[in-house]
Amino acid sequence: ILHIGILGAMQEEIGNTINNLYNIEKKRYGDLTIVSGEIKIDKITKKKLFLSIAWSGWGKVSSARASTRLIGHKYKRTNIDFLLFTGVAGSVDSHVRQWDIIIADSLIQHDLDARPIFERFHIPVFNKDELSPKKEWLEWIFKTLNKNFESKKLKFFKNLYKGQIGTGDQFISNKKEILELKKNLPNLKAVEMEGGSVAQVAMQEGIPWVVIRVISDSADESASTDFSTFLKIYNKVSSNLIEVIAENY
């Protein structure tokens, strides 16, 4: 049995996933609810998969807290083996467009700055500034999505990339800010508000993790309207992404 923790920031990033679980258990931790259940994958081998699902709320603090809760959470006496964050992001690369998927091969907390004591973006506990998932988990997610990219469930999605994602407690919505970020982080593909903190907590707790982001907007002056419009549609299909991964492990 594999037990996957699935975290989003908003309900829309999780969508219908919970409806396909059975033996559901809900547990509350303060204002956070974790829903756990089983998905039966293979009728012949009866291979089972446990999922524990939550949405954290926006930003690094809420996502770090929810990650800690998920990592400590038990379903049928098992802890999670792997933490998957899934959600939307703003593109800061003109080649990366709405409905493209980016799997983070590196995450930077772009608002972390303890100069002059440490260099910009430096995370003292790891003595580095970029956090990367373990290769085998990254490749598993990439291959699974790539292999099923033409399937009905993933027909909404356009391109699949690996790349660098930036996390900060800021909704980016103008070109000037993008240029400012790219001056320091020329390889940055997308921005969001949770991935870097989820990755940090998972690494400190010794749990493998991957962050997946679907582009909702271009982090420019049209970001807030694009984001809101996109989320309404994304709510209906976000579970497809999670199910394709769950069903093909």
Check binding of 203 to ligand ADE (CB under 6 A): no
Among positions 123-182, residues that touch ligand ADE (CB under 6 A) are 171-173
Residue 17 C-beta: closest distance to ligand ADE, Å = 20
Among 12, 100, 129, 217, binds ligand ADE (CB under 6 A): 217
Check binding of 90 to ligand ADE (CB under 6 A): yes
Nearest CA among 61, 82, 83, 100 for reference residue 194: 61
Q: Tokens 């988990």 belong to which residue?
A: 137
CA dist., res. 186 & res. 223, Å (int): 21
Check binding of 107 to ligand ADE (CB under 6 A): no
Residue 1 C-beta: closest distance to ligand ADE, Å = 33
Q: Tokens 């976000």 belong to which residue?
A: 238
Check binding of 223 to ligand ADE (CB under 6 A): yes
* N- to C-terminal Cα separation, the chain: 11
Nearest CA among 101, 82, 81 for reference residue 91: 101
Number of residues that bind ligand ADE (CB under 6 A): 14
Q: Please identify the residue of the shown chain whose CB is closest to the bound ligand ADE.
A: 90
Q: Which is nearer to ligand ADE, 14 or 172 (CB)?
A: 172
Among 193, 199, 203, 212, binds ligand ADE (CB under 6 A): 193
Among 14, 192, 198, 199, binds ligand ADE (CB under 6 A): 192
Q: Are 53 and 17 in contact (CB under 8 A)?
A: yes
133 preceded by a cis bond (ω within 30 of 0): no
Q: List strand residue ranges (DSSP E) for the chain, in order.
A: 2-8, 22-29, 32-40, 48-55, 82-91, 101-109, 130-131, 160-167, 188-192, 209-217
Residue 86 C-beta: closest distance to ligand ADE, Å = 13
Query: Which parts of this chain interact with ligand ADE (CB under 6 A)?
Result: 88-90, 171-173, 191-193, 216-217, 219, 223, 227
